[in-house]
């Protein structure tokens, strides 16, 4: 059998022709035998000529109809239809040949012949296909499909030709489908999934409900987590419809499905208010948030978008991407890539004035908590002075609207990064008070939210890499929680919040419920088909290790300093009324900070930060690496001096 499978296509077609010739002969003789009960009428010359002519014409019909081009492994209804038509034509040819050759032929024989030929040619091919299919099953992995709807059926059809997977059944919650057979597969209720897995030895579950809401998909995932099966998902309906993905492009369960948070439809008026036909500048345009802001801004049809970025590679990437997006959408938007630092006031002012910027989205910031702890002065220069200089340049250039991307770490900060972001907020609030007095002053506002999924500092990509390596997964603390939001949703809400700003507004994005990081880690392990290794399960696959809180890290994040929260025109955007400083007091703080940073006096920096109304309560001592190295070096020198003095004293005593 294996030898036949390995033959060339031409050899297989010759064998098919030979077998079909045999089937025609069998159908011819047995149709007479069924009708007459004997074969003696078939021994004359006319009958033999009729049979030979029928064989030749039938094979010609089959060839012309394309029967021998069909691959048995992928036999479809079309091939069976071809056999039906070919058999019908063959029966007609038999009747005509017997008439012209004056061969004896009872009237019912062509009908019987047609039935025999169709059964023999069609049935043999179906039998071969079944044998091939059964043989292929041995090397394929058994899987279940969750969802027996249109997407599930399409996925099952696609996987029939897969050499990797074998679908054993559907599972669904729709009671009208339970017990039905779809594409040869039975539909089972989700309540019976555990026993079904045991019986079928299924290794994976494919979720095929692309049109379901995220909340519904989260319910499905939660119901599967305890099974310790690898769970894969078809792309979202949006990606399938847009052509970005096909139904059989299976991937890991999206993390936003684990959160179960459905995005709220954006309000087009708010999306376009500060963008449409305007010149928009984005600082930190190559970063996680900055780049997504740029993608959303392109959709809003600005007249130009200015990409301001200090990283050459990041700027190159986002410029190329936006140029391609604009071309695909047939949009003529001017894209201006500019290298520069937000710490350079003159560069900022020149850029904003030259390009007549209308709207600024300030996303440039150092946001990695431990790194800012280790590089305090640079963090202050970039996050505090960079924001202030950008805001001052916006005022100088008569920019209409300025939106600061802030963070939940600015609320009662325990680290330098959060403190710098709160100081940046205070600066904008102070400038906003000044701009209120002008007729067309710059409108400043800030948008505060938590972690975004997939950002450069996100824990999710780290967990996935650690799972691929076999673990362990590193979690700082068993009780640590965080707010999460997808980058596209955050960017859209930032744009909409900025459009509602009147001046000095602090907008808070509704992040939903906070997520326990340890639960997220466990779910990711289980959805990969693995077990968590712990004391209760020492034979598990992947261990979770607790590394301890990093410098400046908090267990819980908050979004509000006070309790005064107001609603806005958007259900996911809130506004907060918070304390702020007069501009002269804020400038005084900046002058002291600037002097301390220039002299790298970290003790003075810490003292100034503690004196500001940011609520800074450090959880650790000064973490600046260069400062600590300098202190250690100085201590070593002092200790060395003391050692030398002690040695001299001992030597003098000996001499005496």
Of 498, 574, 445, which is closest to residue 278 (Cα–Cα)?
Answer: 498
- pLDDT, position 297: 94
To the nearest 10°, report the CA torsion of 353, 357, 360, 366: -50
- pLDDT, position 65: 78
Going 92 to 97 to 99 to 104, the CA torsion angle's sign is: negative
Q: Residue 587: exposed, middle, or buried by beta-carbon count in 10 A (0-12, 13-18, 19+)?
A: middle
The DSSP annotation for 171-207 comes to EES-TTTTT-EETTEEEEEGGGHHHHHHHHT--EEEE
Separation CA 299–CA 474 (nearest Å): 39
Are the beta carbons of 373 and 552 closer than 8 angstroms? Answer: yes
Cis omega (within 30 of 0) for bond into 472: yes
Residues with Cβ within 8 Å of residue 299, at least 6 apart in sequence? 271, 329
Of 392, 429, 572, 422, which is closest to residue 497 (Cα–Cα)?
Answer: 572
Going 11 to 66 to 246 to 129, the CA torsion angle's sign is: negative
What 8-state DSSP symbol labels residue 453? E
Separation CA 484–CA 477 (nearest Å): 17
The DSSP annotation for 307-359 comes to EEES-HHHHHHHHHHHHHHHHHTT---EEEEEE--TT-HHHHHHHHHHTT--E
- pLDDT, position 426: 93
The residues assigned a catalytic role are 409
Which residue ranges of the chain lie beneath pLDDT 50?
Answer: 1-2
- pLDDT, position 1: 47
Separation CA 446–CA 436 (nearest Å): 16
The two structure tokens encoding residue 102: 């004056």
- pLDDT, position 130: 65
Burial readout 18-51 (b: 16 or more C-beta within 10 A, e: otherwise): eebeebbeebbbbbbeebeeeeeebeeebbeebb
To the nearest 10°, report the CA torsion of 114, 117, 118, 122: 180
- pLDDT, position 649: 63
- pLDDT, position 352: 96
The two structure tokens encoding residue 281: 């500048």
Edge-first strand order for the sheet with 532-533 is 473-475, 542-546, 532-533
Separation CA 85–CA 61 (nearest Å): 9
pLDDT per position as a tens digit, 553-588 = 777 776 666 556 778 878 788 888 777 889 999 999
């Amino acid at each position: 059998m294996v030898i036949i499978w390995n033959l060339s296509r031409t050899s297989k077609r010759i064998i098919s022709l030979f077998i079909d010739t045999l089937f025609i002969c069998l159908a011819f003789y047995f149709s007479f035998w069924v009708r007459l009960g004997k074969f003696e009428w078939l021994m004359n010359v006319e009958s033999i000529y009729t049979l030979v002519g029928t064989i030749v014409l039938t094979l010609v019909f089959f060839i012309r109809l394309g029967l021998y081009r069909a691959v048995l492994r992928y036999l479809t209804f079309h091939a069976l239809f071809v056999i039906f038509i070919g058999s019908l034509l063959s029966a007609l040819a038999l009747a005509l040949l017997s008439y012209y050759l004056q061969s004896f032929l009872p009237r019912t024989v062509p009908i019987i012949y047609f039935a025999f030929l169709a059964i023999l040619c069609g049935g043999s091919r179906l039998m071969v296909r079944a044998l091939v299919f059964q043989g292929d099953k041995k090397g394929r992995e058994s899987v279940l499909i969750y969802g027996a709807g249109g997407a599930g059926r399409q996925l099952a059809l696609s996987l029939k030709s897969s050499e990797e997977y074998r679908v054993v059944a559907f599972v669904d919650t729709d009671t009208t489908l339970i017990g039905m057979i779809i594409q040869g597969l039975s539909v089972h209720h989700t309540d019976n999934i555990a026993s079904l897995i045991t019986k079928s030895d299924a290794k994976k579950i494919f979720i095929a409900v692309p049109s379901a809401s995220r909340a519904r998909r989260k319910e499905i995932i939660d119901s599967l987590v305890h099974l310790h099966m690898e769970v894969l998902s078809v792309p979202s309906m949006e990606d399938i419809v847009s052509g970005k993905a096909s139904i059989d492009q299976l991937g890991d369960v999206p993390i936003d499905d684990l959160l179960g948070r459905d995005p709220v439809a954006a309000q087009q008026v708010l999306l376009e208010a500060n963008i449409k036909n305007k010149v928009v500048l984005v600082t930190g345009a190559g970063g996680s948030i900055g780049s997504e802001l740029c993608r959303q801004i392109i959709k809003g049809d600005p007249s130009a978008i200015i990409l301001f970025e200090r990283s050459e590679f990041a700027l190159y990437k986002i410029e190329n991407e936006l140029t391609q997006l604009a071309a695909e959408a047939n949009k003529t938007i001017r894209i201006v890539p500019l290298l520069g630092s937000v710490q350079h006031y003159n560069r900022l002012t020149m850029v904003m004035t030259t390009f007549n910027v209308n709207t600024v989205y300030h996303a440039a910031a150092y946001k990695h908590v431990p790194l800012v702890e280790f590089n305090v002065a640079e963090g202050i220069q970039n996050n505090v002075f960079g924001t202030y200089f950008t805001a001052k340049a916006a005022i100088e250039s008569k920019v209409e609207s300025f939106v600061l991307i802030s963070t939940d770490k600015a609320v009662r900060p325990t680290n330098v990064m959060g403190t710098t972001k709160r100081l940046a907020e205070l600066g904008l609030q102070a400038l906003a008070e000044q701009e209120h007095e002008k007729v067309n002053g710059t409108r400043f506002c800030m948008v505060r939210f938590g972690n975004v999924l997939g950002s450069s500092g996100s824990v999710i990509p780290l967990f996935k890499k650690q799972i691929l390596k076999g673990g362990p997964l590193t979690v700082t603390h068993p009780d640590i929680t965080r707010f999460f939001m997808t980058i596209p949703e955050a960017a859209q809400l930032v744009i909409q919040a900025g459009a509602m700003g009147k001046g000095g507004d602090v907008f808070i994005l509704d992040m939903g419920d906070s997520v326990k990081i340890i639960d997220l880690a466990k779910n990711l392990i289980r959805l990969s088909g693995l077990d968590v290794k712990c004391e209760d399960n020492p034979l598990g696959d992947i261990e979770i290790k607790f590394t301890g809180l990093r410098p400046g890290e908090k267990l819980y994040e908050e979004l509000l300093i006070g309790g005064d929260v107001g609603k806005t025109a958007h259900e996911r955007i809130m506004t907060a009324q918070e304390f702020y400083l007069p501009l002269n007091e804020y400038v005084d703080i900046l002058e002291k900070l600037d002097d301390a940073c220039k002299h790298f006096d970290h003790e003075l920096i810490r003292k100034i930060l503690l004196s500001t109304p940011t609520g800074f309560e450090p959880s650790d001592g000064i973490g600046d690496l260069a400062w600590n190295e300098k202190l250690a070096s100085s201590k070593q020198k002092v200790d060395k001096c003391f050692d030398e003095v002690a040695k001299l004293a001992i030597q003098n005593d000996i001499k005496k």
